[in-house]
Amino acid sequence: MKSETQSLNLRKMMEKQKLYPEYDLAFEKVCVKKKNIKNLEIGSVLLLGMNYLHMVLVKDSEIHAKVKLDNVGDYSIIEIVSLKETDVNKYDSKKYENVLCSLGKINCKKLELGHKVSISSLGIKEIEVFIDNNLYAKGKLVTVDDEIAVEIGELINE
């Protein structure tokens, strides 16, 4: 009995221990009018103003790398195309909010140009919408008139 408890505690402890740094795989930050954010409801579509996937690796509100999506056989991978360390907040304005759309968290052993990371375990279509580093909504990736958008499925902070 005691050994089972010890092994369960050890397992929980090891699950919390991260082997490599963890980054959010996200679209580049976009600005949205505050009134448009207030009008969001379940089923609303949030247009991101992109025709293709501009993605970045974000940690602690800083962009650490720009990445591009590739497919190798049945696997999806990202390749680091540039390294960059800047604040994610693009605009400070009373009319606009900085919106970050995250695809999920990935562990990346090293950040260097050309390094490839598998993202097959991520649900690429499931999106979390962050405003000011707070989770605001969850949704799914859709296209509207050849433009990338997020269809809101659940509002977290109303």
* pLDDT tens figures, 81-115: 888 756 555 666 788 888 889 988 888 778 888 88
In this prediction the pTM is 0.75
The total of other beta-carbon atoms located within 10 Å of residue 156's CB is 12
Nearest to 49 by CA among 155, 134, 146, 158: 146
pLDDT at 85: 59
Q: What is the average pLDDT value for the chain, to the nearest integer?
A: 82
Tokens encoding 85? 């360390």
Question: How far out from the chain centre does Cα 115 lie?
Answer: 19
CA atoms within 13 A on the CB side of 96: 12
Please name the amino acid found at residue 140. K
For residues 140 and 5, what is the distance between their CA atoms, to the nearest angstrom?
40
Is residue 28 helix, strand or coil? coil
The pLDDT tens digits for 135-148 are 999 999 898 888 88
At 151, the pLDDT band (50, 70, 90 cuts) reads: very high
For residues 130 and 132, what is the distance between their CA atoms, to the nearest angstrom?
6
pLDDT at 139: 93
Instruction: Locate all alpha helices (DSSP H) within 86-145, ordered by sequence.
Output: none
Nearest to 157 by CA among 125, 124, 133: 133
